[in-house]
Amino acid sequence: MKKAIVIGASSGIGREVTRLLIREGWTVGAAARREERLKELGAAAIEKIDVTQEDAPARLRTLIGHIGGMDLFFYASGIGKQNRELEEGIELATMQTNAMGFTRMIGEAYRYFAEQGRGHIAAITSIAGTKGLGPAPSYSATKAMQNVYLQALEQQANSRGLKIRFTDIRPGFVDTALLDGDFRYPMMLKPESVARDILSAIHHRRHIQIIDWEYRLLTCLWKRIPRCLWRHLRI
């Protein structure tokens, strides 16, 4: 039986992916800051993990021990908020979670799989890493960092002869608590359908998966906009 750890399993995409993995017969260890919400999932084991805390890697190892190993590490933890006034607290909190927390947890999963000799790391990043978005500077910057970090680890794993696979999952706007607020986002995706696409990408061992086809087209266009034009766009 395959064993998976899901970080950020208490809500949104992480919660839906956890449900699908359990339905497929995986032994799942679920982790998040809100432990009470994890109890509703029916996972084999749960652990309260705050990725911004230094004890998070040790707690991950504990959770791995509870389910007897790990074949898949799925990372769905993150925060994001528009910050047009560039409030310092929002920028630093985003960096703390999406950069420091991401590096802390992905790094620990990588080290575990390096010791084991194999494994699969799948992480939700975002299409926001494609270009620097003025309404959300730290969010788009940290998502670009996540994209490059996974790419670098994939290269390193191959150089070291490690059988560690990576799947960089880049969804567009998803109808979750992360996007709650007065602003109406276009082309909203449902977390249930996004979760199904994620499982398909994992099973097919995709390296990068942009969800869905509309966002694949959008990001393809974004990449082709010259910087001299991009800086003048009003988003």
Residue 235 lies in a domain: no
Residue 66 lies in a domain: yes
**Calpha distance 186→174 (Å, rounded):** 10
Question: How many Cβ atoms sit within 10 Å of the Cβ of residue 123?
Answer: 25
Tell me, what's the pLDDT at 176? 59
- Which pLDDT tens digit goes with each residue over 200-228? 999 999 999 999 888 899 999 999 999 99
CB 111 within 8 A of CB 157: no
Residue 46 lies in a domain: yes
Q: Which of 5, 101, 8, 15 is nearest to 51 (CA)?
A: 101
Q: How do the pLDDT tens digits run along the chain, 235 residues long?
A: 799 999 999 998 999 999 999 999 999 999 999 888 999 999 999 999 999 999 999 999 999 999 999 999 999 999 988 899 999 999 999 999 999 999 999 999 999 999 999 999 999 999 999 999 999 999 999 999 999 999 999 999 999 999 999 999 999 877 655 555 545 556 678 888 999 999 999 999 999 999 988 889 999 999 999 999 999 988 7
Tell me, what's the pLDDT at 177? 56
Residue 153 lies in a domain: yes
Tell me, what's the pLDDT at 108? 98
Q: Which of 172, 169, 148 is nearest to 222 (CA)?
A: 172
CB 21 within 8 A of CB 28: yes
CB 96 within 8 A of CB 74: no
Angle at 41 between CA 187 and CA 164, to 5 degrees: 75
CB 188 within 8 A of CB 180: no
- Which pLDDT tens digit goes with each residue over 64-86? 999 999 999 999 999 988 899 99
Q: What is the CATH number of the domain that holds 93?
A: 3.40.50.720
CB 71 within 8 A of CB 28: no
Pairing of strands 208-211, 45-48: unpaired
- Rg (C-alpha) for the chain, rounded Å, is 17
Boundaries of domain holding 212? 3-230
Tokens of 25: 């017969």
Question: How many Cβ atoms sit within 10 Å of the Cβ of residue 23?
Answer: 10
- List Cβ neighbours of 160 (8 Å cut-off, separation of 6 or more): 114
Tell me, what's the pLDDT at 234? 85
**Calpha distance 46→128 (Å, rounded):** 30
Tell me, what's the pLDDT at 172? 82
Residue 42 lies in a domain: yes
Residue 15 lies in a domain: yes
**Domain count along the chain:** 1
CB 170 within 8 A of CB 147: yes
Q: Which of 14, 8, 97 is nearest to 48 (CA)?
A: 8
